């Protein structure tokens, strides 16, 4: 097509050419006329004018021609640039991973890039001119055409397709796949509309999301226990059945041999085969691949488990036969690494009828191994801590038990010494009294240690019988009268309402109240008040000790009943941290509850319940 200026120039050129032709003919005619007629002045003037006109026309014609040439060159350059830009654009569309498909008003495909070829499986050649509906499952075709028409009328020039629901594409193979798509429109010079669909295959992303979801669900089961054996059993079950058909966990132990934990799959034959494989002893000298993975702490993916592979990694024909019976097709061997130690190897395999593992599944399997390793490590640490605590309690129990006799001998001797010392020998009496006080304190501490050890193993001796509560409360309060008076703290036993007899061990209940009162006194300032109350509540009696002391920080509340837990430094006299643990142990051995309410700066109330007798 020629531009308007070029057309103008061509017209001018043609005009000039005509003038030149006509002029030349006229000039020749006048010369002939002059030759015939003998020439007059007028004729010469006409000739001169014609010659000038001709000259002008030639110059004008030349100019028009030159300008037309320029124009043609420019146009050629512009066209070349346009072609290059189109090629570049087509190139970009072709390398795009997404499908870019343009359709006309009738939804016939007019552009179909390489991405579309890859995603849908049809070539551009096959698809140009075909309906866009070919690329979607039957059930969407009708609705989709209507959507595009509606979009053609809509004011916006682009929109996301199927914002609220999933859309699916249809591959040449007939498989459907989940997709995300957007559509844009462009009105052409002739008024026709071109729609361009940009579509992304989100199969992989969906798979990744799904795998992550399953991983999270599987891993959540790890939090259900802190026990090592239970954790191992739950680890080996984690990948089933979503990641593999079977699994075996091999754990490093304190012995030469690895502990082999087979998964339970629910398939009788496979479970039997797994059990048989778990029966093959494995140590660091075994030819098993597990040993290499333990040594190098690197994941191994055996894409094709062949007989040769099995033979190379088993010690003898019997082990080979057992491994072969698993029917493994592909296998992951994943080291369980935590705090730079390999704790074991998790083998996850798929049997012959299952698909091979994908790259995504490898990544998921590795993540699973990481979580499993942390869980196993935590369980082991917890077990070690528990064992240490048990050992400590045991040692304390033994020592306290053995100390009891010599300590009571010291007490008896000190009291005898005191009795034999005359009143006037004050310095000697004071020494003897000190020994008696210290002996009593030591004896109480030993009793506490023994109590706590017994509570721990559920062997605290509590002899319940019907008892009246008021005398028990009075005995306990009496123990602290002198000390509270000395410390300027009011100790009050509220008038007691009528109370039923309770079922309890009077000595032990005095011990509970003593522990609570001793704390209340310890954490109260001069001028404070301690109030002891009791009231019947259904078939229980509730007893409480309230103080106006320092109170307990909310963060400490869950800890105060723990054994050996004590706020260091804040207590006027450092305690052993056993008082509340023992009090709660005794109350619970009675079938009751002990709890605390407290506000920092206002005071604390400790309450417990005991059952009424009968
Ligand atoms: P101990 O008193 O020997 O430290 P306990 O088991 O009796 O051990 O008490 C545990 C902790 O609970 C104390 O260290 C203290 O911080 C807190 N506590 C107990 N009773 C009171 C109380 N009446 N007022 C304030 N804090 C208390």
The pLDDT value recorded for residue 329 is 95
Q: Answer yes or no: are the C-beta atoms of 563 and 527 closer than 8 Å.
A: no
Structure tokens at 134: 């070919």
The pLDDT value recorded for residue 398 is 86
Residue with CA at minimum distance from ligand 1 atom 14: 566
CA 605 to CA 601: how far, in whole Å? 13
Structure tokens at 389: 């605590």
For the chain, domain boundaries: 4-92, 96-201, 208-384, 465-611
Q: Could you tell which of 561, 566, 584, 600 is best to mutate to test the pocket of ligand 1, judged by most ligand atoms within 8 Å of the CB? A: 566
Comparing C-alpha atoms, which of 529, 543, 544 is closest to residue 492? 529
Whether ligand 1 lies within 6 angstroms of the CB of 604 is answered as: yes
For 260, the 3-state DSSP assignment is strand
Q: Could you tell which of 560, 574, 601 is best to mutate to test the pocket of ligand 1, judged by most ligand atoms within 8 Å of the CB? A: 560
Residue with CA at minimum distance from ligand 1 atom 8: 577
The pLDDT value recorded for residue 384 is 93
The pLDDT value recorded for residue 59 is 80
Q: Answer yes or no: are the C-beta atoms of 579 and 519 closer than 8 Å.
A: yes
The pLDDT value recorded for residue 573 is 57
Domain 465-611 CATH assignment equals 3.90.105.10: no
Structure tokens at 208: 């990744």
The pLDDT value recorded for residue 49 is 80
Whether ligand 1 lies within 6 angstroms of the CB of 581 is answered as: yes
The pLDDT value recorded for residue 13 is 61
CA 47 to CA 53: how far, in whole Å? 10
Common-topology check for domains 96-201 and 208-384: yes
Q: What is the mean pLDDT of each run of 10 residues along the chain (614 residues)?
A: 57 64 68 64 76 78 74 76 70 78 92 93 95 91 82 81 74 93 87 89 88 88 90 95 94 94 96 96 94 95 96 95 96 95 96 89 94 95 91 85 90 94 94 93 89 86 94 96 95 95 96 96 95 96 97 92 76 73 95 96 97 91
Domain 208-384 CATH assignment equals 1.20.140.160: no
CA 311 to CA 241: how far, in whole Å? 27
Give 492-499's long-range contacts (Cβ < 8 A, gap of 24+): 492/529, 492/530, 492/531, 492/532, 493/532, 494/531, 494/532, 494/533, 494/534, 496/469, 496/470, 496/533, 496/534, 497/534, 497/535, 497/536, 498/536, 499/468, 499/469, 499/470, 499/534, 499/535, 499/536, 499/541
Whether ligand 1 lies within 6 angstroms of the CB of 579 is answered as: yes
Residue given tokens 């019907």 in the structure block: 466
Strands (E), 519-577: 529-537, 540-547
Residue with CA at minimum distance from ligand 1 atom 7: 579
Q: What is the domain class of 96-201 according to CATH?
A: alpha beta
Structure tokens at 333: 């061997």
The pLDDT value recorded for residue 365 is 94
**What DSSP element (H or E) covers 101?**
strand 99-103
Sequence-ordered list of residues with C-beta below 8 angstroms from that of 373, at least 6 positions apart, any chain:
336, 337, 338, 343
* Pair type for strands 465-467 and 502-504: antiparallel
Question: 268-278 and 317-324 helices cross at what angle (nearest 10)?
Answer: 150
The pLDDT value recorded for residue 228 is 94
Residue given tokens 């249809």 in the structure block: 170
Whether ligand 1 lies within 6 angstroms of the CB of 552 is answered as: yes
Residue given tokens 């990744």 in the structure block: 208
- What is the torsional sign of CA 152, 155, 158, 162? negative
Stated pTM of the model: 0.59
Residue with CA at minimum distance from ligand 1 atom 21: 519
């Amino acid at each position: 097509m020629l531009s308007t200026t070029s057309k103008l120039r061509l017209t001018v050129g043609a005009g000039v050419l005509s003038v030149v032709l006509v002029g030349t003919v006229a000039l020749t005619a006048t010369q002939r006329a002059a030759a015939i007629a003998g020439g007059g002045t007028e004729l010469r003037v006409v000739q001169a004018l014609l010659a000038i006109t001709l000259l002008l026309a030639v110059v004008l014609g030349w100019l028009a021609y030159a300008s037309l040439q320029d124009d043609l060159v420019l146009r050629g350059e512009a066209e070349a640039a346009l072609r290059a830009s189109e090629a570049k654009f087509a190139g970009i569309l072709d390398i795009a991973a997404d499908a870019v498909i343009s359709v006309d008003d009738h939804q016939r495909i007019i552009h179909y890039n390489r991405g579309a070829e890859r995603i849908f499986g049809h070539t551009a050649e096959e698809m140009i001119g075909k309906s866009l509906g070919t690329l979607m499952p039957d059930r969407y075709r009708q609705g989709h055409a209507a959507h595009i028409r509606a979009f053609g009328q809509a004011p916006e020039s682009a929109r996301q397709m199927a914002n609220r629901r999933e859309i699916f594409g249809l591959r040449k193979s007939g498989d459907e796949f989940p997709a995300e798509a957007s559509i844009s429109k462009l009105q052409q010079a002739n008024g026709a509309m071109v729609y361009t669909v940009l579509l992304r295959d989100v199969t992989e992303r969906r798979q990744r999301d799904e795998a992550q979801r399953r991983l999270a669900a599987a891993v959540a089961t790890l939090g259900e226990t802190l026990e090592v054996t239970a954790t191992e059993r739950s680890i080996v079950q984690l990948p089933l059945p979503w990641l593999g058909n079977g699994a075996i966990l091999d754990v490093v132990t304190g012995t030469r041999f690895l502990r082999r934990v087979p998964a339970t799959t629910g398939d009788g034959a496979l479970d039997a085969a797994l059990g048989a494989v778990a029966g093959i002893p494995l140590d660091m000298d075994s030819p098993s691949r597990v040993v290499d993975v333990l040594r190098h702490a690197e994941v191994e993916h055996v894409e094709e488990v062949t007989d040769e592979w099995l033979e190379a990694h088993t010690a003898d024909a019997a082990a080979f036969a057992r491994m072969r019976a698993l029917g493994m097709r592909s296998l992951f061997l994943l080291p369980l690494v935590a705090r730079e130690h390999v704790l074991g190897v998790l083998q996850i395999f798929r049997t012959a009828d299952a698909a091979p593992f994908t790259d995504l599944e490898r990544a998921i399997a590795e993540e699973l191994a990481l979580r499993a390793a942390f869980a196993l490590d935590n369980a082991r640490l917890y077990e070690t801590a528990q064992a240490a605590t048990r050992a400590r309690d045991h040692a304390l129990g033994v020592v306290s038990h053995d100390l009891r006799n010599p300590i009571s001998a010291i007490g008896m001797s000190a009291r005898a010494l005191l009795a034999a010392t005359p009143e006037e020998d004050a310095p000697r009496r004071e020494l003897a009294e000190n020994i008696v006080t210290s002996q009593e304190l030591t004896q109480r501490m030993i009793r506490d240690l023994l109590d706590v050890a017994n509570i721990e193993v559920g062997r605290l001796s509590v002899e319940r019988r019907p008892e009246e509560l008021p005398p028990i409360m009075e005995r306990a309060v009496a123990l602290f009268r002198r000390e509270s008076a000395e410390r300027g703290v009011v100790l009050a036993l509220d008038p007691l309402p009528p109370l039923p007899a309770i079922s309890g061990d009077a000595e032990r209940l005095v011990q509970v109240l003593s522990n609570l009162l001793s704390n209340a006194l310890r954490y109260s300032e001069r001028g404070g008040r301690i109030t002891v109350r009791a009231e019947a509540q259904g078939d229980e009696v509730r007893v409480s000790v309230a103080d106006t002391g320092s109170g307990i920080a909310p963060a400490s509340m869950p800890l105060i009943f723990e054994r050996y837990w004590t706020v260091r430094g804040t207590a006027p006299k450092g305690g052993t941290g056993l008082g509340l643990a023992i009090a709660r142990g005794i109350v619970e051995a009675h079938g009751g509850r002990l709890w605390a309410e407290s506000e920092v700066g206002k005071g604390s109330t400790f309450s417990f319940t005991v059952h009424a007798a009968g």
